[in-house]
Chain A
Amino acid sequence: MSIEVSNVSRRFKGETAVNNVSFQAEKGEIVGLLGTSGCGKSTILRAIAGLDNGYEGTISVNGNPKRGTSKELGVIFQEPRLMPWLTVVDNVCFGLAGTKAENQIKAKKLLKVVGLEGFENYYPKQLSGGMAQRTAIARALVTEPDTLLLDEPFSALDAFTKLQLQDMVLDLWDSYQPTMIIVTHDIDEALSLCDRVVILKGQPGELYKNVQLNQPKPRSKADPELAKIKEEILYSLGLSRNTNEKIAKEA
């Protein structure tokens, strides 16, 4: 068991944002946290990452309950969050402890993997959104964490870059199989990347459903099986047009 979230609740100033959520992620599994905005997906991820310790319940990483940050976790945020005063390669080295020369070698290797070879000495202001996010992904991967937490990592990118980076993440996963927890509001993204989708719903957010996806990856976007699951998820979130029409007819 890589990540275990049990009975986690979070209140902000008396108002409950997340209510009693429990789920697990097996080692090497890609779990999607899916839900409409305001249902507390990011809150849960921040609790797992150790950036927010005001929650109730327990979170265990590799069997050890913990509060606070951990070297076993890598975080990728919605924005790249690069240090503007560091070059690309120094940004990637940010979380590394070793000697500078060793770090640079590791970072350069990883920059090659994410397709940023030759951009090592650029500053963040010179990068496009996609390149900046690739740098952020490299920064999270370079410490070789066994779990990656991704908080809507591609939602600020254009559609093409998004598809490219999703493929890249799958390739990276193939190469060393980290556990991943991806917060997303994009059902297509969840369906193409995840082994399991945890659906949160309501305000306060509660766990609504676990959807297992056994289709082999990479998956075709046009897979009829996936389309059916998508419809089900939309339906359960009350977002399907068919259901809306049904309700309208009944009224």
Chain B
Amino acid sequence: MAISQGQHVEKKPIFETTKGKQKKVGKTMPSVFGHVGLSLVLPVLLILLWEGVTRFQIVETHLLPAPTVIVETIADWAVDGSLWQHGGITLYRIFWGFIWGSLAAVALGSLVGMSNKAETMFDPLIQAFRAIPSLAWVPLFILWLGIGEPSKVTLISVGVFFPVYLNVVGGIQSVDRKLIEVGKAYGLSSFQLVRRIILPASMPSFLVGLRSGLGLGWMFVVAAELMGASQGLGYLLILGQNTLQPEVILASIVLFAILGKITDYGLKKIQSRVLHWQDRIDSSKG
């Protein structure tokens, strides 16, 4: 009774505003909820469908476990501590791989971007290495660095390196010549030009590189852990396969998705904070 009254009271003004010159324009909260709600419709429907077909035995549950089973698996891991152990080691690997890969890419990329000589010297070689599918390095890294952490971190940093490198070089080379001229007109030295114009101007491209580097990093951490690891989310994939536990595989896939999303979200936040000055379409969309 109360609910239906509430609905009635709410409906009335809406009907009036559509009739007479929309009064409520600046109300952002409902539209945000509407946005999130709309984007949730499809996933929720799919999960319900999935749960339905497994609950009623339409598909075989030993091949496709129900979403609730997957959630239970993750919850169990959280309780017995293996979630933190496996997730932690995976994060550790990707963190160091990302750091080393980006550092190397920034160092080489800025050298190649700034100097024509360095470009003719290094770039062809780097491009040639880029043509090698990075996973082809795995046997060699294992041979050289053993089966422990160094070979995995190295593989991940190779994956992170290329997108960051390409974007750093591209970013530096596409800095507006006109802005550099302003700096020159004020008599800035080469070092000052780099610090005050080239660095901030190439920041957008650099951050795009970091984000795609991180994406590749997640791809490579899976590859590294699939091939000879005794810990990590990638190891759980193999474990699930060998012990015929699809819920283990799916649970670690879900964890990969969640962690990948969170880390990318973090970088995206940094990106929009650092680049708040950028004149972009989505900044005017509101």
Q: CB within 8 Å of B: which residues of A?
A: 49-51, 69-71, 73, 75, 77, 79, 81, 83-86, 94-95, 123-125, 143
Contacts and interface: CB of A to CB of B under 8 A. Distances in A.
Contact of B200 (A79, A83, A95): A83
Interface of B: 178-179, 181-182, 184-187, 196-197, 200-201, 203, 276-279, 283
The DSSP consensus for interface residues of chain B is helix
A84 B278 contact: yes
Nearest to B203: A85
A224 B181 CA distance: 41
Given A81-B181, A83-B201, 5 more contacts: A81-B182, A84-B279, A86-B277, A124-B277, A125-B277
A94 B186 contact: yes
A95 B197 CA distance: 12
15 contacts: A49-B185, A51-B185, A69-B184, A69-B186, A70-B187, A71-B187, A73-B185, A75-B185, A79-B178, A81-B181, A83-B179, A83-B182, A84-B279, A85-B200, A85-B201
Contacts of A51: 181, 184-185
Contacts of A85: 200-201, 203, 277
Given A69-B184, A69-B185, A71-B187, A123 B277 contact: yes
A83 B179 CA distance: 7
Given A51-B185, A69-B184, A125-B279, A81 B200 contact: no
Contacts of A84: 277-279
B184 A81 contact: no
B178 A83 contact: no
Nearest to A83: B179
A50 B185 contact: yes
A70 B187 CA distance: 7
Contacts of A125: 277-279, 283
Contacts of A83: 179, 182, 197, 200-201
Closest 6 CB pairs of A and B: A125-B279, A95-B186, A85-B277, A75-B185, A85-B200, A69-B187
